[in-house]
Amino acid sequence: MSEHHEKMTKTTPMQVVFASLGGLIPPLIAIFLIVQLVLSIQHSHVDKDADEALVKTVAERIKPVGEVKVVDANAPKVEKSGEEVFNAVCTACHTSGALNAPKLNNKGDWAKRIGQGYDTLVKNAINGIRGMPARGGAADLSDLEVQRAVVYMANSSGAKFTAPQ
Ligand code: HEC
């Protein structure tokens, strides 16, 4: 054996330390990577939960707006226009002339009735008269809404009433 070869094979304490460290490093790296992997998986789950929580929070923040709108539609009653009331209620009889109801856009049907005057028409529409049910059968209509519907119908057939505000 040459002197050179002897030098190469002789193990110094330093080499033992390095060799030991060298043997430790790969498993340490592996463990480090596994921990990283687990952490990243957990993190992505946390992110997903956080996203869901965010969506919920946003949904809850948006919700009251929708509720306020619903309350607006119901509680502080928004008075419908004459045309809206007509299309919702009165049209059932006053478009076809069912039960001999005076028809929309029919001057002949309305001329004599308009002659009674606005107040009488409104009173009869609110209280009902013969085949005409009180408030057209829609008890939830306000006086104002019935008045507007009367004006809408009568004005379609020759009257020139002013719709109450
Ligand atoms: C179920 C059918 C029906 C519905 C719904 C109805 N009406 Fe009538 N309405 C009649 C009939 C029938 C008459 C004719 C009554 C009569 O003079 O014999 C009439 C007559 C009237 C008159 C004339 C009253 C008069 O003094 O000559 C007015 C005004 C009137 N309706 C308003 C309304 C309004 C406003 C609505 C909707 C809110 C409505 N009606 C819904 C059947 C209906």
Q: Is the pLDDT of residue 3 over 70?
A: no
Tell how far the Cα of 125 is from the centroid of ligand 1, in angstroms. Answer: 6
What are the CA-CA distances from residue 87 to residues 69, 84, 116 (Å)? 23, 5, 24
Beta bridge partners of 132: 129
Measured CA angle at 20 (ends 17, 25), to 5 deg: 120
Amino acid letter for position 67:
E
**What's the CA gap between 133 and 18, in Å, rounded?**
103
CB-ligand 1 contact for 100 (6 Å cutoff): yes
Instruction: Say if CB 157 and CB 110 are below 8 A apart.
Output: yes
Beta strands in 30-130 (DSSP E): none
Ligand 1 pocket member 115 (CB < 6 A): no
Query: What is the C-alpha separation between 71 and 77, in angstroms, rounded?
Result: 9
CA dist 120 → 117, 125, 165 (Å)? 6, 8, 19
Atom of ligand 1 nearest to the CA of 137: 5
- Checking if the pLDDT of 57 tops 60, the result is yes
Instruction: Identify the pLDDT of residue 13.
Output: 82
Both tokens assigned to 128: 């009902």
What per-residue confidence (pLDDT) applies to 12? 84
Among 43-47, 51-55, 75-79, 148-152, where is mean pLDDT lowest? 43-47
Residue of higher predicted confidence among 86 and 67: 86
What fold is seen in the domain 82-155? Cytochrome Bc1 Complex; Chain D, domain 2 (1.10.760)
Looking at residue 130, its pLDDT comes to 96
Q: How far is the CA of 79 from the centre of ligand 1 (A)?
A: 20
Sequence spans of domains, the chain = 3-74, 82-155
Q: Cα(165) to centroid of ligand 1, in Å? A: 22
Cα 108–Cα 134–Cα 125 angle in degrees, nearest 5: 35
- pLDDT tens figures, 95-116: 999 999 999 999 999 999 999 9
Q: Judge whether 84 and 128 are in contact, CB under 8 Å.
A: no
C-alpha of residue 106 to centroid of ligand 1, in Å: 14
125 lines ligand 1 (CB under 6 A): yes
DSSP helix/strand/coil, 145: helix
If phi over 0 gives left and psi between -120 and 50 gives alpha, with beta otherwise, what is residue 128? left
- Of residues 94 and 64, the one with the higher pLDDT is 94
